[in-house]
Chains A and B, each alone.
Chain A
Amino acid sequence: MGIYTIFRRELTSYFLTPLAYVFIVIFLAMAGTFTYFVGNFFGRGQADLQPFFQFHPWLYLFLIPAITMRLWAEERKTGSIELLLTLPISMTDAVLGKFLAAWCFTGIALVLTFPMWITVNVLGYPDNGAILAGYAGSFLMAGSFLAVGAAISPLTKNQVIAFVITSVVCFVFTVGGTGVVLNFFSGWAPTLLVDTVAQMSFMTHFNAISRGVIDARDMVYFASVIGFFLFANVILVDLKKAG
């Protein structure tokens, strides 16, 4: 009940400012640009959305922090955090309500990419199951980015700082599985460490899902990341609320 009320207020508040519209327009434009021009959607001659999904981590890298930077930083700056946390709701309600609203909002942006799905279905006979898995993977990954950003937001009253730190942390999580990082470790570090680094990456798990391979381990991974950072979020808000 408390969660739902917070969720409702937060989600509505996105649409009270231009933030929601700017975000959605930029997200759709960038997703389209990457897919058709950089991803070589037409030239590949394959009826799938692989070129669309592969750029999602990079889009999220700078768009998600723009959503999460204000979550708690703004509450702290305007002092409304004092109002929020003296209402008869628990800290968990407040944290979850805000997170779920942000997640739902990115979900709306994601759903609005449906013309992509229509296009690929008009042009060929794609594996729609794999596409659905891709969307699910992307949504889970967005949730992880959001949870990281939401946890970082209460650390500062300055939204720009929250944005930058979130981007950097998310960047580390994203590139963890790429060749550059793994090569850096693989020369000297034990295989276990290399595997761990690779396993901590959003990219590794997202790529698996977006190819249509739904593995419980990938799901558990994203769920754990979200769970861990939301837990951290509760603790950090409690720690920093007074400043």
Chain B
Amino acid sequence: MAEMIAIEGLTKRFGTITAVDDISFTVKRGEVLGFLGPNGAGKSTTMKMITGFLAPTAGTARVCGFDVQDRPIDAKKKIGYLPEGAPAYPDMTPAAFLDFIARVRRLDGAARKRRIADAIEKTQLADVLYQSIDTLSKGFKRRVGLAQALLHDPEVLVLDEPTDGLDPNQKHEVRSLIKAMSYDKAIVISTHILEEVDAICTRALIISGGRVVADGTPLDLEQLSRHYNAVAVRLESEGDTDAVKAALERIDGVASVEANKYAGLLTVYPTDARSLIAEVGQAMRAGRWRVTEIRVERGHLDEVFRRMTQA
């Protein structure tokens, strides 16, 4: 089955507050879906409904074909879940905790040992296996949560802020891990780190006020930025700024030109995200401008994020 997660019209109300409002999407095998959104947008609530912790007010969530409400046990067997804040039993050691999870997941004998060893290796927990979890640092606690989610090699991984609290090296390792696993799994991660979307997600959903406000590949989302395909030109001398700006504005397809006089930097914004580098280059040669730098901007995800979530 291609569609490992199928969400339809999912809605959750707490009293008069609508936390998740009619969200629909699907995740296929091999996809890493990034959930983006400000705090309180409904990311975690959606994940809690996919994993069967919360019952939706309306709509359905299906995991590997099993409706999470009607066939909870079958669905939960397919899911590895890292809840927000990576909760665990603080009095236990990671070794005992993983053993407990493996037993609940009905892994027996050799398979249990192998899976636990594998999860420990992937999340690099070997050094802290026999310390109680409440004495571990935030990063290690997060990795214990991750190890628990990976333990049964699930087909569906739901990770709520998997890199929160990790240092840059650990973040990199967790991202590599997620990437390495993604080819045969359907993965949903929530994050508010935009670079993460670029680094590991094949698709991103921006959620705001409980609704999906944007859905596409990271590149699709970048194209929504006004910076996408903008051309930045840095002049050798600031004195030429006005003349060059006037020349650039005459180019066909230029929406606007913004000048930063002090830096001698001109940014050319295109209409409908078209590429302007050829035209700008031509104008540069024709006008014999003395230019020290010319580059094409990528879209700014954070700008798209802000625009989408503050509207």
Contacts and interface: CB of A to CB of B under 8 A. Distances in A.
A139 to B, nearest CB: 26
Interface string B205-249: 000000000000000000000000000000000000000000000
Given A85-B53, A86-B81, A80 B100 contact: no
Interface string A117-143: 000000000000000000000000000
Interface residues of A, number: 24
Nearest to B14: A242
Contacts of A242: 14, 48, 53-54
Taking each of A8, A80, A88, which has the highest tally of chain B beta carbons within 10 Å of its own beta carbon?
A: A88
B11 to A, nearest CB: 15
Contact of A90 (B48, B73, B83, B100): B73
A144 B103 CA distance: 29
Contacts of A8: 100, 103
B24 to A, nearest CB: 22
Interface string A81-98: 111011111100000000
A86 B53 contact: yes
B148 interface: yes
B194 to A, nearest CB: 26
Given A83-B148, A86-B79, A86-B81, A78 B54 contact: no
Taking each of B53, B84, B85, B105, which has the highest tally of chain A beta carbons within 10 Å of its own beta carbon?
A: B53
A110 to B, nearest CB: 24
A2 interface: yes
A83 B83 contact: yes
B90 A78 contact: yes
A85 B68 CA distance: 13
Contacts of A178: none
A87 B54 contact: no
B92 interface: yes
Nearest to B100: A9
Interface in A61-101: 78-83, 85-90
A82 B104 CA distance: 15
Given A13-B91, A78-B90, A80-B87, A87 B48 contact: no
A9 B88 CA distance: 13
Contact of B87 (A2, A79, A88): A79
B52 interface: yes
Given A79-B83, A82-B53, A87 B76 contact: yes
Interface size of B as a range: 20 to 34
A1 B76 CA distance: 16
A86 B76 contact: yes
Contacts of B130: none
Contacts, number: 69
Contacts of B89: 9, 13, 78, 80
Given A9-B100, A78-B90, A241-B53, A87 B105 contact: yes
A180 interface: no
B83 A5 contact: no
A77 to B, nearest CB: 10
Contacts of B105: 87-88
B23 to A, nearest CB: 18
B191 interface: no
Contact of A83 (B52, B87, B96): B87
Given A16-B92, A82-B53, A242-B54, A87 B104 contact: yes
Contacts of A89: 73, 104
A104 to B, nearest CB: 17
B77 interface: yes
A98 B132 CA distance: 21
Contacts of B290: none
A83 B92 contact: no
B51 interface: yes
A242 B12 CA distance: 12
Contacts of B79: 86
Given A79-B85, A82-B83, A88 B91 contact: no
Interface string B47-59: 0100111100000
Given A8-B100, A16-B92, A82-B48, 18 more contacts: A1-B106, A5-B103, A8-B103, A78-B89, A79-B87, A81-B87, A82-B84, A82-B87, A83-B83, A83-B88, A83-B148, A85-B52, A86-B52, A88-B106, A90-B73, A241-B53, A242-B48, A242-B53
Top-10 shortest CB links A-B: A79-B87, A88-B76, A82-B83, A16-B91, A80-B87, A86-B51, A88-B77, A5-B103, A9-B100, A87-B104
Interface of B: 14, 48, 51-54, 72-74, 76-77, 79, 81, 83-85, 87-92, 96, 100-101, 103-106, 132, 148
24 contacts: A5-B104, A9-B89, A13-B91, A16-B92, A78-B89, A79-B84, A79-B87, A80-B87, A80-B88, A82-B83, A82-B87, A83-B81, A83-B83, A85-B52, A85-B53, A86-B53, A86-B79, A87-B76, A87-B105, A88-B106, A89-B104, A90-B72, A241-B53, A242-B14
Interface of A: 1-2, 5-6, 8-9, 12-13, 16-17, 78-83, 85-90, 241-242
